[in-house]
Amino acid sequence: MQQYVDLFLEMVAFRGLTDNTLKSYKSYIKSYLAYVEAHLKKIPDDVTWEEIRTYISFVKQSRSLSDRTINAHISIIRFFLEYVLHKPWDRYQLPFRKFDKFLPTVPSQDEARHFIDTLPNLKHKAVVALMYSAGLRVSELCNLKYSDVSRKDMRVYVARSKSRSDRYTILSNKALAILTKYWHQYGQPRQWLFPSTHNNGAKPIVSFTVNCIVNDHIDRLGWSQKINCHSFRHGFGTHLYENGVDLLDIQRLMGHGSINSTTIYVHLASNRNGFLKSPFDSAGDAHE
């Protein structure tokens, strides 16, 4: 089966995906091909639609996967059929699953400030302050270089974001003050803004470390809400909208490929419903 894996990865590589995406794709296709070999004892070319559906049911039940993850498995199999086996995809044979959409938990503006203010480690405080104040993804934060932060223009340059495009986002005055203090106390790093403590700072801090910083402080504060690193990025967008910033500006600052991704902050904003009046309350005003 290795020749199928190699050809699949070769075709995926043409799409120019990130290393993390490639790892996920490789894991999914190896799982499928292992099932074909061990359970069906066939070559992939001879697998029927019924057998593919059986595989999808198998991975869902045996691994308790979410519907989103199941859809990812289906997408990989579709790519494999079309680009490796050169077979047409029939969406009526294997439809994508519907899944529930939940609003993420977002800290309030006061909670975000309190979280940052109470971080005991200056480097950790600088990490979270910049992540929240500029609306950065964890991967974007980790890959920031010293030269990406512009005091003159008060903006942060984000290279090769999730949408495969560069962008600029805002640099907070408060975050800059914390960053400046951190920079002087932590050896004035000139390459990576937040270098790893390993390898003499030759590599940047990794996402796992940032996640640990946030999770450990949540435990320290005794918060029960489900907040993670991405909650602070959502907080950035939500709080901008609460403060009256236009959705198109928020889309630009956050690097969303579609405005549809940005409209979630309309639902998350805490103060918008206060300006609205139910038609049930206003319907009888004229008769009272």
Q: Catalytic residue numbers?
A: 137, 162, 230, 233, 256, 265
Contact call for residues 132 and 259 (beta carbons, < 8 A): no
Phi first, then psi: give them for residue 150, nearest 5 degrees: -110, 110
Of 30, 228, 26, which Cα lies nearest the Cα of 128? 228
140 residue type, one letter: E
Residue type, 285: D
CA atoms within 13 A of residue 286's CA, in its CB half-sphere? 2
Burial 169-201 (b: 16+ CB within 10 A, else e): bbbbeebbebbeebbeeeeeeeebbbbeeeeeb
- For residue 276, give the amino acid letter: L
CB 232 within 8 A of CB 218: no
Instruction: Give the separation between CA 183 and CA 203, rounded to whole angstroms.
Output: 17
Instruction: For residue 50, give Cα distances in angstroms to 47, 53, 60.
Output: 8, 5, 16
Residue whose entry in the numeric block shows the structure tokens 């400030």: 113
> CB-based contacts of 123: which residues, under 8 Å, 6+ apart?
182, 186, 194
Tokens representing residue 201 in the block: 């700072």
Answer yes or no: are the C-beta atoms of 112 and 239 closer than 8 Å: yes
